[in-house]
Amino acid sequence: MSGGVMAIAFSLPSSFGISAIAGTPEAIAEVPHSYTGQYLKHVLQQYTPQPKVQNGGID
């Protein structure tokens, strides 16, 4: 893993059983049938994106 944030979400679509989604919070927020994704989308909209740090913050 490259040190980035990783999240796992579980959703319960009524006719499909349990599904698991792994990825960044931003990626999970884009999954329409994920309850966790719906929550993350709401939470992420409240924060200003931060610039990406390159080279581990060491220049």
Is residue 20 within a helix (H) or strand (E), and if so which, with residue range?
Answer: strand 19-23
Q: What is the band of 56 on the pLDDT scale with cuts at 50, 70, 90?
A: low
Please name every residue paired with 10 in a beta bridge, in sequence order, or none if there are none.
20
Give helix then strand counts, H and E, for the chain.
Answer: 2, 2
Q: What is the pLDDT of residues 14-53, one digit of tens each?
A: 565 666 778 888 888 888 878 888 888 999 899 877 777 7
Is residue 41 within a helix (H) or strand (E), and if so which, with residue range?
Answer: helix 35-44
Rounded Cα–Cα distance for residues 3 and 43 (Å):
22
pTM: 0.52
